[in-house]
Structure 1
Amino acid sequence: MSFKTAKTWCIRLIPVVLFFVSYYFSQLFLQSYGGTPIPVPSKNLCGSWLVSKRWESLNFNITKKTRLFLTLGDFFWQQHRSDFPLPYGIKGSELFLLKVLAITSSYDMPAGIESLDCRTCVVIGNGFSIKNSSLGSAINKYDVVIRLNDAPVRGYEDDVGSKTTMRLFYPESASSNPSIHNDPDTIMVLVPFKQNDLRWLKEILYNEKRVRKGFWKPPPQIWLGSASQIRILDPYFLQHTAGTLLHIPLQPKKNQKSVHPTTGILGIFVALNYCEVVHIAGFGYPEFRNQKQPIHYYGRDTMKSMKNSNHDVSHEAQYLKKLEDSGAILYLHPHS
């Protein structure tokens, strides 16, 4: 081989060598910070040892209840008789539910997702930890992308993706125009924490006079969501997230502060029941002593705003760690 030919081959090999060098150091970097390469939501994960064995290591029962939403035809009094009022049951709210469910046209997930033998889910929290993660393209590959409250998508696609299969919300966390940060076929899932939440939706759907009292924050008086995309989450899921997963008293004692699960951990519990593969991103709060630390990947809210909330985020963090250690969930990014 001539010197000229050898020189040409060396020049051609330079990009290949640089690729492997950069890959080696990227893996070294990820390992040094406790991270792992971004997993791909492959169907092969459904048959893996982790998926088949993970439930055996959990100390609570996941029933794999895949009927997520209340329906007009099957919940009234015989089958869904409840000892609890909202948020853990429907006692006292039956008439509001009658009117709301009568005007929505469907109660199921899309047929294309329902028919899957293996469903891959990703639950996107609103935490600051997802900022600058570049997870967007990976998130869009999951069968089901669950988002929470009014978290924006437009302008943040590189980190949080652009696909939204369902969005859990309640009146105070509703965006007045859901079409801005959702897909045209996104399912809008109301999580009713109180009777006023159902009343708000009834007034929206029937264009009735709005009652403004009974909310900790004024909900939208005009809501541009489509009735055909609305679902009402079965209180079963909030009840079991609180009582079975977090061991929160469903009926707190007198003078005891009422604590409810966050929408985020509720979304994870829903995913654990509905999907075979559950990954999460954007979860975790900074320590309370850091009051100025931003808590979301958007906006300016800090830990100070969590001071008077009805959530025990430290308690939830412990159970997320337990779910992670068991293999039931997998984070898509390094986290504390």
Structure 2
Amino acid sequence: MRLIWWVYSHSNTKKNLYINQSQCNAWLTHKKWKSLNFTTTRTTTLFLKLEDFLWRKNVSQQPLPYGIKGCGMLIFLVYFTFLVLHNVSNFTLTDQVGLECRRCVVVGNGFSIKNTSLGSIIDKYDVVIRLNDAPVRGYEEDVGKKTTLRIFYPESASSNPRLHNEEDTLMVLVPFKSEDLRWLKEILYDEKRNSEGFWKPPPLIWLGDRGKVRVLDPHFMHQTANKLLQFPLNNFHPTTGILAVFVALNYCDVVHLAGFGYPANSAQHQPIHYYGHYTMKSMQNSSHDISKEAQALKMLEDSGIITNLHPHL
């Protein structure tokens, strides 16, 4: 069955974007991805498991955010006891496991998505991935309202995820440092919060569904930095946006983007998000290499591996 969606081309005119079943069955995205010497599998496990540090022979020798070295006890406390107490055992997106064609959209927080009216299109995808504390309510016309995964870290967490997520949204923590896992442990067990070790205070009260929390395997951060961006580890860290794109490429058959792209560095007063008041000036001391990320996204787009749903900066 052919699905026809109207989307914006890069020339600001509308065009038909066809996603047909044969395209998904052949998994053309995966073939193109392999042509760039990346190794992916559609059954890749996205989230950390107990075996990652209990009985795996080759334990990662990298510390966070690129490995689990030195975090075994924290992972044990976060996962093992929590799974027993709350009977949480699913480490996959169970609603999408049986799909022959897994169609995903990664919704960035960029100002470029404003006034695009893409909301109804975004909500038709099988998997919608959102980032950090980006709001949905009040912005539905442009960004949609469906959320399958929300990738975040403590400093970017919303104190009340229920406001801008659905009941079955998986909240996926990206641990950049051991304090991030400690924060999650304190939240899960309702322990006394400790805000030391963060570049800005994370929420001390978190009203999300504890049973919907997962921890992204640091393997994806490592591969995003090392393979996709190809910069030395620990010099820069990938943004959650480029990380989410890499996750989608490992998990989905078709990957589309919306809301990606930063303004030019010269536009210091240009807003960078479709919400809030942050401008390019706030990126001056960033630990991210946004120029390198823009080049990587352009390479993926030019190769036909990803598709942008609207003109972007």
Q: Percent identity?
A: 61
- 1:232 to 2:209 alignment: no
Stretch moving more, 290-299 or 79-88? 79-88
- 1:272 to 2:249 alignment: yes
Residue of 32, 43, 47 corresponding to 1:69: 47
Cα offset for 1:184? Answer: 0.5
Residue of 128, 143, 152 corresponding to 1:160: 143
- 1:242 to 2:219 alignment: no
1:261–1:311 contact (8 Å) kept in structure 2: yes
1:35–1:333 contact (8 Å) kept in structure 2: no
Work out the CA distance in 1 between the residues paired with 2:42 and 2:166. 27
Deviations 1:40-96 (A, max 9, x none): 655454146854642354243334452100123554252461110100000011111
Superposed, which structure 2 residues align to 1:120-139 within 5 Å?
120-139=103-122
Deviations 1:241-299 (A, max 9, x none): 0001111212x5xxxxx300000000000000000000010000000111000000011
2:41–2:251 contact (8 Å) kept in structure 1: no
Find the counterpart in structure 2 of residue 33 from structure 1. Answer: 11
1:38–1:332 contact (8 Å) kept in structure 2: no
Q: Which runs of at least 4 in structure 1 moved beyond 6 Å after TM superposition?
A: none
Residue of 282, 289, 299 corresponding to 2:266: 289
Work out the CA distance in 2 between the residues paired with 1:208 and 1:49. 45
| Distance change (3 Å), C-alpha of 1:238 and 1:45 | same
Residue of 89, 106, 109 corresponding to 2:67: 89
| Distance change (3 Å), C-alpha of 1:94 and 1:302 | same
Structure with more of its chain in strand, by fraction: 2
1:37 aligns to what SS in structure 2?
A: strand
Q: Is there any run of 5+ residues in structure 2 with no aligned partner, and where?
A: 1-5
Report the structure number with the largest CA radius of gyration.
1
- 1:149 to 2:149 alignment: no
Work out the CA distance in 1 between the residues paired with 2:287 and 2:89. 32
Find the counterpart in structure 2 of residue 15 from structure 1. Answer: none
- TM (norm. structure 1) is 0.85
2:172–2:214 contact (8 Å) kept in structure 1: yes
Find the counterpart in structure 1 of residue 303 from structure 2. Answer: 326
1:39 aligns to what SS in structure 2?
A: strand
| Distance change (3 Å), C-alpha of 1:267 and 1:52 | closer
Work out the CA distance in 2 between the residues paired with 1:111 and 1:145. 14
Aligned partner letter, 2:64: L
1:70–1:107 contact (8 Å) kept in structure 2: no
1:67 aligns to what SS in structure 2?
A: coil
Aligned partner letter, 2:61: D
Stretch moving more, 261-270 or 103-112? 103-112
Residue of 47, 68, 92 corresponding to 1:109: 92
Structure with more of its chain in helix, by fraction: 1
- 1:307 to 2:284 alignment: yes
Aligned partner letter, 1:186: T
1:221 aligns to what SS in structure 2?
A: coil
2:15 aligns to what SS in structure 1?
A: coil
Residue of 146, 155, 174 corresponding to 2:157: 174
- TM (norm. structure 2) is 0.90
Work out the CA distance in 2 between the residues paired with 1:40 and 1:80. 43
Work out the CA distance in 2 between the residues paired with 1:38 and 1:150. 32
Q: Is there any run of 5+ residues in structure 1 with no aligned partner, and where?
A: 1-25, 253-257
Work out the CA distance in 2 between the residues paired with 1:325 and 1:108. 33
Deviations 1:204-228 (A, max 9, x none): 1111111111000100001011121
1:281–1:332 contact (8 Å) kept in structure 2: yes
2:32–2:303 contact (8 Å) kept in structure 1: yes
Find the counterpart in structure 1 of residue 172 from structure 2. Answer: 189
Aligned partner letter, 2:186: E
Cα offset for 1:198? Answer: 0.2
Work out the CA distance in 2 between the residues paired with 1:72 and 1:59. 29
1:36–1:334 contact (8 Å) kept in structure 2: no
Work out the CA distance in 2 between the residues paired with 1:220 and 1:31. 39
Length, aligned pairs only? 303
